[in-house]
Amino acid sequence: MSFFLGGTTDITVHEVTGPNSVKEIHQACGGYWGGNTVNGEFYKFLVKLFGGFVINDVKKNHPADYFELMHNFERNKTSFKEDTDKVTIRIPVAWLDTYKENELDRLFKKQELSGVHTLLAVGGFSESPVLIDAVKQKLGEKVNVIVPRDPGLAVLKGAVMFGFEPGTIKSRVSRYTYGVAMQRHYIGGVDDASKRPSHGDSLIDDVFDIHVKKGQVVEIGHFEPEHTYFPVIDDQKCAHFEFFASEEKDPKYTTEKGCSMLGVLSVDLTRKDSKDGELSLKINASGTEIVAVVKEKATKNEYRAYFCLF
């Protein structure tokens, strides 16, 4: 039997019939389970870590460094053992330099950052003169780069100070889009054709009802405008609000790639008639957690829940 592991895994079975001859006794079989499949997963990881634009830049301007990283990975891949706890892969400095350059370029091209003239570098690596010099050269004189004393402790000190004085931060920019899953009627030209109900006036599921959009400025302690919901059927005993976060700014459905469930808030309903069971939901996503408040309009009963932010 022969077992080949390269681009694919190929298995062949032969019988030795003489000193210099063989015959095949089973057709070749296998699949895409070879080393290139592992390489492909590593490449996907690099795209997620650095971004595709960085990889393309390194390929074009630093090909030797690109292939050096791939060679380092290949060497570790073939020497990896099942009982290995940790693998260290050396990343050439050109990768890090390109990442920093591209990320800074991307940020400072944004209109909302046109008035930024000071960059505060914190964290342990901020003590590196090589890093700080590279950042200063990249930004030039238009941005003043400041490194505080003990930059490695600056983040910890800031967290402690924020714990005592949370009001020092007046607003945040939402990193994700937040909302709840809901049902509604199908809207032609808006909803995907695959969502079209097979039974006339049926409702469609998993609609992403947005409360806070990615990139939206949220004021600390401020609740966003409330949304209104109704039970789907009469005599419904409980309503479940499923909270989601999305990496996209305008997700349509909670089943899309990049959507993750944060949690569920269940509300006991007291009204028998669905038309009389109006519920309002408002959320506050300005702090270190999401605060959700559901109110049953007829009874004024309130339900509150807290969800950790990503």
pLDDT in tens, 2-39: 444 455 666 778 788 888 888 878 776 766 666 777 88
What was the pLDDT predicted at 2? Answer: 45
Cα gap 163→161, rounded to integer Å = 5
User: Does the global pTM surpass 0.75?
Assistant: no
Cα gap 139→129, rounded to integer Å = 15
pLDDT in tens, 57-66: 899 889 999 9
Query: Residue 47: how many CB atoms within 10 A of its CB?
Result: 13
According to the per-residue pLDDT averaged within each range, which of 196-200, 236-240, 269-273 is highest?
Answer: 236-240
| Residues 223-227, mean pLDDT to the nearest whole number | 95
Residue 48 pLDDT greater than 80, yes or no: yes
DSSP state of 231: -
At residue 275 the predicted structure's pLDDT band, cuts being 50, 70 and 90, is: low
What was the pLDDT predicted at 3? Answer: 43
pLDDT in tens, 121-143: 888 878 888 778 878 888 888 88
Q: Exposed, middle or buried by CB within 10 Å (0-12, 13-18, 19+), for 160?
A: exposed
9 or 225, which is more confident: 225
Residue 50 pLDDT greater than 90, yes or no: no
Structure tokens at 77: 């891949």
Label residue 64 left, alpha or beta by phi (over 0 means left) and psi (-120 to 50 means alpha).
alpha
CB-facing half-sphere around the CA of 183: CA atoms within 13 A: 12
pLDDT in tens, 194-212: 888 776 667 889 999 999 9
Helix (H, G, I), strand (E, B) or coil at 218: strand
245 and 263 Cβ atoms separated by less than 8 Å: no
Q: State the residue for tokens 């309002």.
A: 280
